[in-house]
């Protein structure tokens, strides 16, 4: 990836046709003009202007794009060009956020995972009580949410699980930022070979106070995460089997609308007759039901449309749902708090590396 700059995109290009325009405000009429009213005068453009249809064509024909070398910073992302690949991280941004939150001198933690508790008083993720103080103006709550969302959506899928809304939950924000991984990012090996693989998982009753479960999925190419998601399910499911079906449904939808697949086809990297995308799941019963297209029970009307949608995708050859053991399911990272060793293994499995380890 290299960086280029377009010098004064439109303003220096000479027109090859006559374009007339009204005299803009502030431009005085020349003394040689015999017409007293500005409304009856027109001027001819010598160079292109922003907003004209012809300007884009002229820019395309006379484009000056000096090569500024390899890209190092793009939209807040730091790009490290290494010998065997590229590392995309946001170390500078994290340092800025830590300093803004007065945590730049705090002690780093080994993991950002926050263990949940069935004890309402001790649970960081419990709903706020009526008499509990919501974060006041002295706490940079909105700034904290925005910082974590920006990081989790670009280079830090490892912190996608964490969401909080009350004062007690603000502690999880501090634990997340104090995690000693400022230079951790997504590593794309060169050349990056491999097909698109998906992993789906669900955390049953991850929120015991509302009965909602957590959906998590991630897709990898060449061992590096491309799209990922960690979100609370919109409906209350009554069994672990049902929440897994809902998770696979969301992952299969992402597989269909995945921009990466369209880019790979348009660039000729893969053909239109590519084999179905493999989607890994660790629930054997769920996999068998989706393959057979039959789910037993009279209390499944709330998931039947999503169940048959996923079954049709597999039947038509768009996806292939296969079983993987729970310890190797990368989507487990997005559904529940894990042991430090398991967490580190899954973080490495989605292609995340530290800059100091690659140099």
Same domain for 148 and 250? yes
Q: Give the C-alpha separation, 72 to 70, whole Å.
A: 6
Residue 134 φ then ψ, to 5°:
-75, 155
Same domain for 52 and 78? no
Q: Give the C-alpha separation, 261 to 20, whole Å.
A: 46
Same domain for 325 and 179? yes
Output DSSP code: residue 47: B
Same domain for 203 and 347? yes
Same domain for 37 and 158? no
Cross-strand pairs, 185: 353
Predicted local confidence at residue 204, as pLDDT:
93
Per-residue pLDDT of the chain (359 residues; tens, 9 = 90+): 677 777 677 777 787 788 888 888 888 877 777 776 777 788 888 888 887 888 877 777 776 666 778 889 988 899 999 999 999 999 999 888 878 876 666 666 666 666 656 566 666 556 666 666 555 555 677 787 788 889 999 999 998 887 544 455 555 555 566 555 789 999 999 876 678 899 999 999 888 778 899 999 999 988 999 999 999 999 999 899 999 999 999 999 988 776 677 777 776 666 667 788 999 999 999 999 999 988 876 777 888 899 999 999 999 998 999 999 999 999 999 998 888 889 999 999 999 999 999 98
Same domain for 77 and 65? no
Q: Looking at 25, 55, 70, which one is the last position of a domain? A: 70
CATH of the domain at 344: 3.30.420.10
Predicted local confidence at residue 278, as pLDDT:
94
Q: Looking at 70, 91, 123, which one is the last position of a domain? A: 70
Domains contained in the chain, number: 2
Q: Looking at 22, 50, 70, which one is the last position of a domain? A: 70
Containing domain of residue 61, as a range?
Answer: 2-70
Q: Give the C-alpha separation, 216 to 336, whole Å.
A: 9
Between the two ends of the chain, the Cα-to-Cα distance in Å is 19
Same domain for 80 and 22? no
Same domain for 94 and 198? yes
Which residue is listed with tokens 């991280």?
A: 89
* b/e burial code for range 266-300 (CB count within 10 A of at least 16 → b): eeeeeeeeeeebbbbbbbeebbebbeeeebeeeeb
Same domain for 146 and 267? yes
- The model carries a pTM of 0.77
Q: Give the C-alpha separation, 96 to 340, whole Å.
A: 26
């Amino acid at each position: 990836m290299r960086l280029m700059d377009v010098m004064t995109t439109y303003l220096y290009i000479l027109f090859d046709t006559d374009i007339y325009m009204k005299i803009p405000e502030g431009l005085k009429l020349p003394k040689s003009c015999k017409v007293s009213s500005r409304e009856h005068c027109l001027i001819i453009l010598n160079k292109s202007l922003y907003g004209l249809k012809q300007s884009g064509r002229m820019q395309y024909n006379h484009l000056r794009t000096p090569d500024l070398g390899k890209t190092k910073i793009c939209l807040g992302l730091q790009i490290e060009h290494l010998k065997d690949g590229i590392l995309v991280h946001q170390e500078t941004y994290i340092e800025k956020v830590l300093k803004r939150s007065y945590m730049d001198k705090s002690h780093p933690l080994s993991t950002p995972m926050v263990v949940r508790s069935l004890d309402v008083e001790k649970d960081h993720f419990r709903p706020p009580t009526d008499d509990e103080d919501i974060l006041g103006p002295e706490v940079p709550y909105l700034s904290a949410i925005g910082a974590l969302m920006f990081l989790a959506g670009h280079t830090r899928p490892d912190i996608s699980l964490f969401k909080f809304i009350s004062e007690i939950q603000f502690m999880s924000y501090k634990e997340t930022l104090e995690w000693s991984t400022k230079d951790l990012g997504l590593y794309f090996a060169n050349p990056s070979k491999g097909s698109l693989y998906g992993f789906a998982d669900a955390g049953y009753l991850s929120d015991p106070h509302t009965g909602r479960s957590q959906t998590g999925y991630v897709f990898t190419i060449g061992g590096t995460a491309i799209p990922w998601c960690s979100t609370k399910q919109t409906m209350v499911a009554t069994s672990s089997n049902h929440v897994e079906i809902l998770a696979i449904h969301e992952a299969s939808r992402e597989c269909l609308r995945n921009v990466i697949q369209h880019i790979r086809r348009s660039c000729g990297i893969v053909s239109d007759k590519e084999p179905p995308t493999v989607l890994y799941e660790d629930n054997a019963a769920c996999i068998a039901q989706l393959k057979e297209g039959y789910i037993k029970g009279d209390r499944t009307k709330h998931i039947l449309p999503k169940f048959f949608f996923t079954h049709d995708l597999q039947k038509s050859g768009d996806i292939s749902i296969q079983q993987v053991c729970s310890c190797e399911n990368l989507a487990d990272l997005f559904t529940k708090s894990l042991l430090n060793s398991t967490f580190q293994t899954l973080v490495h499995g989605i292609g995340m590396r530290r800059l100091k380890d690659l140099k």
